[in-house]
Structure 1
């Protein structure tokens, strides 16, 4: 099977590549502009093509040079605050970019696209744990682009018979997140604590998230490669964790009481979020297994090792 991973040199991509390394049944090509990814994440034996999904000609040329059986589409603008501040940029990357990929899949006969969506599509919905059947009311431009892409995948499945799998990720964390950018809350805390600095919390810290380890995300995506049809599934632990509880996990990892400054909440942030993983369990026979304290310890140890190099 020949697989294309857009944005594959980035955070989640690096975990997928690590799990695919050495598999003789998988021929992997990575397409990445390296704005947030790194060449070092791409193992020997895997092809790295530098390019941008916003470059329609480059995407088409890539597909013309290969015969991909599936595309894992990870390339994206991933930050909610950036989408609020620069909605046009967010749209260009997250919608125009994915359309270039979808059109290349259609024209060149790629059978399956797997898409990294987000819990942001649900908006500030308190019917938790959130199931895939909930009404989608995103509260940020980022969430809107993810929701819209899901509709594009459904339509391409209906019009052209393309297999489409949508993964709505909970809050992903793990080693290598945010190396070249802000990253998520876990990576931000890791960077600050690795430098023995205090942390800032937007809001009172009682806002909740469903933190899922990137290695579990990678495993779910790989398991879904043989799927046929059109599927949408949350990838989550199903466990609601407050930011204050997250800080306590960090305190166990670092071995001291973390100094915390609380400030005003950010526009577009969701108060509570936890996702049901029943569809994931049913369709893939899989539930993320990484314990949060162990995952935080691994992630923090990796960041600390980078800081002390």
Structure 2
């Protein structure tokens, strides 16, 4: 099956591309390489270096005629969304709408979308998919608006979809600069003997999910969970202070973290129920946090030695 993967050179997308190849599919990558890396792209995979909003993207659909679109490309920084909400909306909302239009025009069979737990906003409970959404950042809002467009395209044009709402994704190939997540940033700082920075008091919690598990969720969505919105998380929460302790067990450091002011748009607690994922997607995480951290640290150590 021919599958267009936007963001296919990124740390999640490239692991999905590897999986698609292993399963006998033909992935096609659309990536502007603002976060993706050439080294993540397997030899021989057709790759288009374009922005989502480029008029040339339609030509890719016309030429390649993908059967499935898996849309991972996005502006993913909460901080950047607050600094430049117009750009965030242009990439995340308008970029998604253009892909949906092309999907209808060129007979795509299914649209799989990477959304975020940021759509939920503040909550102190294990989050299931039916609780009210109330994003507190422009990033979360852009993801929620995109979800609504996807559902409306299904209603009006019968385009099947699966929406996957990710917890905090980490793993090999994640960048520690720019859009990097807290785990990749901490690992790089500890390996470089730098002082890690924790924003707020460190008691805020996150649900960390391994990138390989997220890639597998996207793969399973090709044939499962039609027209469903599904959380992809570990159903556990870990505080940033606990995370730092876990990393310190793997990477002893002479530096204690430095605490700085809480950042705007950051949620306090996150734990995503994955009951629906198991029921509809036949998915559950294979990696617990400690195992995933071990694999991720090995990746960063090897990169540092290259």
8 Å CA contact 2:214, 2:232 repeated in 1:
yes
Q: Relative to structure 1, is the Cα distance of residues 248 and 257 closer, same or farther in structure 2, using a 3 angstrom cutoff?
A: farther
Q: CA deviation at 1:45?
A: 2.9
Equivalent position of 1:125 in the other structure: 123
Answer yes or no: is the 8 Å Cα contact 1:123–1:270 preserved in 2: yes
Contact 1:173–1:212 (8 Å) recurs in 2 = yes
Decide which moves more: 81-90 or 35-44: 35-44
| Structure 1 residues 15-66: Cα deviation after superposition (integer angstroms, max 9, x where no partner) | 1122223332x111001111111122111232111111011x2111000001
Residue 187 of structure 1 corresponds to which residue in structure 2? 184
Q: Secondary structure at the match of 2:22?
A: coil
Once residues 67 and 301 of structure 2 are traced to their aligned partners in structure 1, the CA distance between those partners, rounded to angstroms, is: 39
For residue 188 of structure 1, report the CA deviation from its aligned partner: 0.9
Displacement of 1:257 in angstroms is: 5.8
1:66 maps to 64
Q: How far off its partner does 1:224 sit?
A: 1.0
Partner of 2:41 in structure 1? 42
- Structure-2 separation of matches of 1:228 and 1:253: 37
Counterpart in the other structure of 1:17 = 17
- Give the gaps of 5 or more residues in structure 1: none
Equivalent residues in 2 for 1:1-309, closer than 5 Å:
1-24=1-24, 26-55=25-54, 57-126=55-124, 128-178=125-175, 181-227=178-224, 229-256=226-253, 258-309=255-306
Residues matched between the structures, number: 306
Between the aligned partners of 2:271 and 2:132, the Cα distance in structure 1 is: 15
Report the Cα distance in structure 2 between the residues aligned to 1:282 and 1:39, rounded to whole angstroms.
36
SS of aligned partner of 2:135: coil
Bigger shift: residues 179-188 or 163-172: 179-188
The answer to whether the 8 A contact 1:37-1:180 is kept is: no
The answer to whether the 8 Å contact 1:163/1:228 transfers is no
Provide the TM-score with structure 2 as the length reference: 0.97
Question: Displacement of 1:228 after TM fit?
Answer: 6.2
- The runs of 5 or more residues in structure 2 that have no matched partner are none
- Offset, 1:162: 0.5
Report the 3-state secondary structure (helix = DSSP H, G, I; strand = E; otherwise coil) of the residue aligned with 2:79. Answer: helix
